[in-house]
Amino acid sequence: MAIATKNTVFYHIPKTGGIWVKSAMRFSGVPYGRVRNGLPHPYGLYREHSTPVGIEKSVEGKLSFCFVRHPVDWYRSYWAYRYKTDALDPKFPLDKLYRKNFQKFVNNVLEAYPEGFVGNLYRFYVDSDLSGVDFIGKQERLEQDLIFVLRKAGETFDEKVIRKTKWRNIAASSKKFRHLCIPDKDLRERIIKTERWVCENFNYA
């Protein structure tokens, strides 16, 4: 399910800071509720990751938003969480390609999705022309962009609380796991080449 506030609807793309976003809104005084989606996710994800397609009409007129992140960091975050938790879902296509070795895992994904898995995932939410939602923020500037979109929508909230909200699900940057999921130069270049649509549309290098 997506979540809706008085003036916004937030679509949670996996591994882009969505859990933090929900916490920051709740703690800063922005109440929200779940929004039903009658359609299953194209990749079999849980309802908390609902796409805009099929969402209930109660959110019409609200400012819609989501977040994206650099594809290299997306793969790092995805892999580190799986490595840390062993939480694999057979319905999610990447979990079938998972390997304990980060390099092997990413190469498996790039081989299976030569058009770019991350780009495919993002397009379910934002469409190929980026018209699927009203505002697309970046995980790399999560606090700044969340504050911006809430202000733009006219929400009432405590900015200081947002800036102090503790980060969530950061296995890829933790001391225990970060050294295990750093791509070598060739793999990084392959990711960027394969995920060209993401890099070009969101100005990632």
Does the pLDDT value for residue 170 go beyond 70? no
Weakest-pLDDT range from 52-61, 144-153, 191-200: 52-61
Mean pLDDT, residues 7-29: 96
Report DSSP state, residue 37: B
Q: Where are the alpha helices (DSSP H) in the chain?
A: 18-27, 71-85, 102-112, 117-126, 142-153, 159-164, 185-194, 196-201
Three-class DSSP category at 25: helix
β-pairing, 63-68 vs 8-10, is parallel
Mean pLDDT, residues 20-40: 93
Q: 57: which 2 tokens?
A: 């009409």
Report DSSP state, residue 55: B
Confidence at residue 132, expressed as pLDDT on a 0 to 100 scale:
96
Which domains does the chain show, CATH number per domain? 2-201 (3.40.50)
135-138: strand order across its sheet: 33-35, 2-4, 8-10, 63-68, 135-138
Counting beta carbons within 10 angstroms of the beta carbon of residue 98, is it exposed (0 to 12), middle (13 to 18) or buried (19 or more)? middle
pLDDT by residue (tens digit) across 93-111? 999 999 999 999 999 999 9
Confidence at residue 163, expressed as pLDDT on a 0 to 100 scale:
96
Residues counted in the chain: 205
Confidence at residue 171, expressed as pLDDT on a 0 to 100 scale:
58
Mean pLDDT across the chain: 93
Does the pLDDT value for residue 130 go beyond 90? yes
Q: Could you identify the residue written with the tokens 């504050």?
A: 147
The answer, as to whether pTM is greater than 0.75, is yes
Does the pLDDT value for residue 40 go beyond 70? yes
Does the pLDDT value for residue 25 go beyond 80? yes
Percentage of the chain modeled with pLDDT above 70: 97
Confidence at residue 110, expressed as pLDDT on a 0 to 100 scale:
98
Q: 25: which 2 tokens?
A: 């809104």
- List C-alpha distances in Å: 157 to 16, 26, 53, 190: 22, 9, 29, 42
Mean pLDDT, residues 43-48: 82
Beta-bridged to residue 8, according to DSSP, are 63
Mean pLDDT, residues 131-142: 97
Q: Could you identify the residue written with the tokens 């200081």?
A: 160
Confidence at residue 115, expressed as pLDDT on a 0 to 100 scale:
97
Confidence at residue 173, expressed as pLDDT on a 0 to 100 scale:
66
Q: 40: which 2 tokens?
A: 């299953």
**How far apart are alpha carbons 169 and 113 in whole angstroms?**
25
Does the pLDDT value for residue 124 go beyond 90? yes
Chain centroid to CA 185: how far? 24
